[in-house]
Structure 1
Amino acid sequence: MRFYTCREAHEPKPFRVAVIGAGPAGLSAAGYLACRGYEVHVYDKMPEGGGMVAFAIPEARIPIRAVRDGVRALERLGVRFHFRTKVVYDSPREFGDEWAEHFVSLEKLLSEFDALLIATGAWRPRKLKVPGVELPGVYDALSLLHGIKMARIGYYSWERIPDLKGEHLVVIGAGYTAVDVAMEGRLLGAEKITMAYRRSLEHSYARAEIRKLIAEGVEFIEHATPVRILGEEKVEGVEFAKTKIVGGSVVTTDERFVLDADAVVYAIGQLPTSPIKEIVCASERVLEEAGIFFAGDVITPRNIGTAMREGRAAAERIEEWLLRKAPRRVFPVAMTGRLIAGVLSGKC
């Protein structure tokens, strides 16, 4: 993967930028800024760069070597990486924190850099809120895909990965993540895979990929939403309610049916994870006036291409801000802290 387009960096400029998060958005921003001659430091809690692309998307779809090649190219361009390092402000504990060996405060970066880009992605799975979700054999898609990918690239033992050989895997959801779960389930030997979606196939933006899976034997059930996970000591099935679309919204009907299941994976989305726990005004420009910018899944989940484009666009805004405002230093660290406090209290 290539995260920059220049042949060589411009003459050095007297500004330093910190990028928090080494996923597609952060790496693309780092590449643009390094090309333009800025000193760029990238911080990430994981052991290497790539974010979800490196640590959750199946190896069959995006090989880790492609990501590593892209990161090495950024290093040659002059980007400095600080891996296993988590940037904190009021951050709750979240997925992947076990890899962090060092912690640095957001305030410290604000005092040392001229601008910050927060591109920390969405590393918190959205929880399925139905009875029985805590039963053994029920997984959120992010945790499962992350574990599988980490095993495939050598960070985890395969003993940590569920044995799906000969089992019936039920996947709840119909996005690209659900497709990835179905792909990995088949590679791990699941005998039967059923995907269930609360809307129709035509409503799924991954419908082309799902049609391929259907042609290869995956069962797809439309207009169905889970209401209960069944089982005693482990998952044994899922009770679904049939749905219908009324005025564009999903409405649950009284009609019910049950699918037997040996394993259930719900892929219903992820939540943004940022050093700032609540980004009330992430889509506003209030923090950008303080030199703090956002890009990628930390605002709302994106696909890879969109995240990369957003990273570059954010980098262009950072450059414009640096050349226009940073020399005047109109927002010292104390002022920035008050702006962040305003965001957290919803006063902006």
Structure 2
Amino acid sequence: MGKPTGFLEHQRLSEAYASVDERLKSYKEFVLRLDDAQAAVQGARCMDCGIPFCNNGCPVNNIIPDWNDLVYRGNWREAIEVLHSTNNFPEFTGRICPAPCEAACTLNINSDPVGIKSIEHAIIDKAWEEGWVKPQPAAVRTGKKVAVVGSGPAGLAAAQQLARAGHDVTVFEKNDRVGGLLRYGIPDFKMEKGLIDRRAEQMKAEGVVFRTGVLVGTKEMPAGIVNDAKEVISADDLKKEFDAVVLAGGSEVPRDLPVPGRDLAGVHFALEFLIPQNKEVAGDRPNPISAKGKHVVVIGGGDTGSDCVGTSNRHGAASVTQFELMPMPPEEENKPLTWPYWPTKLRTSSSHEEGCERDFAVATKEFIGDNGKVTALKAVRLEWKDGKMSEVPGSEFEIKADLVLFAMGFTNPVGGVLDAFGVAKDARGNAKATTDGAGCYATSVDKVFAAGDVRRGQSLVVWAIREGRQCARAVDEFLMGESVLPR
């Protein structure tokens, strides 16, 4: 695919960023997508490798060599058709996916992989600009009604596929706008929310009904979860009204850190900081938590922690420090050992580049306060041996902290929702459902299905899209006896 000798002739060209000074002035996206000519050259690097491991590296099994070749040859209209055949929302993944496909690229064995994510970004943005992305309403309606609980990427993908199969789909979302953590967990500087809005409009034209501000099954929300629900619908009412129900909520319960001083003012879960910020950017009330002029400590080294770093810098924090429990990973992976799998290596995000001190193998021992407010954090250094950690004697230290943000991941979906439906759970508290064989994605309760983080646990947007699509096929087969939807 691409140009047979392209990978020998052309170097990888990554997308450029606006300068740090410029991008810190706003919450706008700052990644500068490749132009048509640049994308064509990058598509030319896709080698005729025989077995395209990138397809399997991608959770939605994008047909990557085909659209790389089409972009190289200037056939953009065909490229978006191929891309959309496996991925409902490439404008999401083209921005925020970590690109496991690139880790699996054959060229990555001993060179820089093809810039697959940047080409995907270019294809979908050009498609929207050219007006090629249009509603695809079903030619024939089935009369079957499906409820989708949750409007994150899994719920949106399932809803769109089911609507295109001819079913009457209603999506229930507890917050005031659709998108789930796509909208409220991911800062606008990584993905502007107009991208979600225009997809929602496309889906409405395809027959999907969105009901926001509606909580399904439970009135109780655990600490750290923000919602705007003004209405509650029982699980029983939903099962009576609809022929099938898809549970597609996220894994939203945040991991806590119960150490002395946890109850001090200024110690928060990450989403207590990020969600109100996204609401402020959307024109709602101001974020009640400010990092301006504060010494911020982010506990957790993943994407959510990085989002806290970038948001704190835009607030004008005096300093930002990020702690990670695990030891510092190597700067470069051992490719012969890890390829084509996702490697462990040091990853520096755009937010880190904007200003952040990172410290690894550190555990928090205590939060220190004055007049009920956090002023410092006491930590200790760790030694890891044979997969086990132990504290390094005499290594305790204190760091100034006016704002502490927990970004240590999420443990499970909201249990009250699953309990309301009576579905069986796995050992981690997720909805129990298989992904293959007869009855895939079906829960222990008749006509109730589960997909995305509510089933598999905290994961990537691209995995949520995959599960939403596959679950839609399973629901279609359940309702109609067969399905023409792709898996």
TM-score category, normalised to shorter length:
0.7 to 0.9
Q: Which amino acid letter does the alignment assign opposite residue 246 of structure 1?
A: K
In the alignment, what sits opposite 2:325? 198
* Contact kept? 1:32, 1:315, Cα under 8 Å: yes
In the alignment, what sits opposite 1:178? 305
Query: Cα RMSD over matched residues?
Result: 2.5
In the alignment, what sits opposite 1:189? 316
* Contact kept? 1:87, 1:105, Cα under 8 Å: yes
Bigger CA radius of gyration = 2
What SS does the corresponding residue of 2:396 show, helix, strand or coil? strand
Of residues 215, 227, 246 in structure 2, which corresponds to 1:86?
215
Deviations for 1:155-192, whole angstroms, at most 9, x for unmatched residues? 2224x232x22221111100100000000000000121
The answer to whether 1:125 aligns with 2:254 is yes
In the alignment, what sits opposite 1:280? 425
Identify if the C-alpha distance between structure 1 residues 11 and 252 changes in structure 2 by more than 3 Å, giving closer, same or farther. Answer: farther
**1:222-261 matched pairs, under 5 angstroms:** 222-233=360-371, 234-254=373-393, 255-261=395-401
In the alignment, what sits opposite 1:340? none
Deviations for 1:311-330, whole angstroms, at most 9, x for unmatched residues? 111111111222339xxxxx
C-alpha separation between the residues in 2 aligned to 1:169 and 1:205?
A: 26
How far did residue 18 of structure 1 move?
0.5
The answer for unaligned runs of 5 or more in structure 2 is 1-86, 91-132, 331-342, 435-441, 483-487
Question: More displaced, 112-121 or 289-298?
Answer: 289-298
C-alpha separation between the residues in 2 aligned to 1:303 and 1:40?
A: 24
Deviations for 1:118-141, whole angstroms, at most 9, x for unmatched residues? 112133322211111111111110
Of residues 41, 48, 52 in structure 1, which corresponds to 2:170?
41
Identify if the C-alpha distance between structure 1 residues 291 and 256 changes in structure 2 by more than 3 Å, giving closer, same or farther. Answer: same
Q: Which amino acid letter does the alignment assign opposite residue 161 of structure 1?
A: I
What SS does the corresponding residue of 1:259 show, helix, strand or coil? strand
Task: With the length of structure 2 as denominator, give the TM-score of the two structures.
Answer: 0.61
What SS does the corresponding residue of 1:202 show, helix, strand or coil? coil
Identify if the C-alpha distance between structure 1 residues 321 and 207 changes in structure 2 by more than 3 Å, giving closer, same or farther. Answer: farther
Q: Which amino acid letter does the alignment assign opposite residue 365 of structure 2?
A: V
* Contact kept? 1:22, 1:44, Cα under 8 Å: yes
How far did residue 83 of structure 1 move?
1.1
**1:142-157 matched pairs, under 5 angstroms:** 142-157=271-286
C-alpha separation between the residues in 1 aligned to 2:400 and 2:275?
A: 26
In the alignment, what sits opposite 2:451? 295
In the alignment, what sits opposite 1:345? none
What SS does the corresponding residue of 2:364 show, helix, strand or coil? strand
How far did residue 310 of structure 1 move?
1.2
* Contact kept? 2:172, 2:215, Cα under 8 Å: yes
What SS does the corresponding residue of 2:143 show, helix, strand or coil? coil
How far did residue 46 of structure 1 move?
1.1
| Number of residue-to-residue matches in the alignment | 320
Of residues 72, 76, 99 in structure 1, which corresponds to 2:205?
76
How far did residue 303 of structure 1 move?
1.6
Q: Which amino acid letter does the alignment assign opposite residue 447 of structure 2?
A: G
The answer to whether 1:316 aligns with 2:455 is no
Deviations for 1:183-226, whole angstroms, at most 9, x for unmatched residues? 0000000121111101134289794344x444443111010011
C-alpha separation between the residues in 2 aligned to 1:279 and 1:127?
A: 25
**1:27-38 matched pairs, under 5 angstroms:** 27-38=156-167
In the alignment, what sits opposite 2:102? none
* Contact kept? 2:136, 2:206, Cα under 8 Å: no
How far did residue 145 of structure 1 move?
0.5
* Contact kept? 1:3, 1:31, Cα under 8 Å: no
Of residues 403, 411, 418 in structure 2, which corresponds to 1:263?
403
C-alpha separation between the residues in 2 aligned to 1:215 and 1:26?
A: 33
The structure with higher relative contact order (CA 8 Å, sep 6+) is 1
- Percent identical pairs in the alignment equals 28
* Contact kept? 2:137, 2:207, Cα under 8 Å: no
Task: With the length of structure 1 as denominator, give the TM-score of the two structures.
Answer: 0.84
C-alpha separation between the residues in 2 aligned to 1:201 and 1:114?
A: 50
In the alignment, what sits opposite 2:149? 20
C-alpha separation between the residues in 1 aligned to 2:236 and 2:296?
A: 46
C-alpha separation between the residues in 2 aligned to 1:33 and 1:3?
A: 15
How far did residue 30 of structure 1 move?
0.2
C-alpha separation between the residues in 2 aligned to 1:256 and 1:123?
A: 32
* Contact kept? 1:3, 1:27, Cα under 8 Å: no
How far did residue 288 of structure 1 move?
5.4
What SS does the corresponding residue of 2:425 show, helix, strand or coil? coil
* Contact kept? 1:199, 1:244, Cα under 8 Å: no
Of residues 26, 43, 50 in structure 1, which corresponds to 2:179?
50
C-alpha separation between the residues in 2 aligned to 1:172 and 1:189?
A: 19
The answer to whether 1:168 aligns with 2:291 is no
C-alpha separation between the residues in 2 aligned to 1:109 and 1:306?
A: 26
Q: Which amino acid letter does the alignment assign opposite residue 399 of structure 2?
A: L
How far did residue 251 of structure 1 move?
3.5
The answer for unaligned runs of 5 or more in structure 1 is 326-348
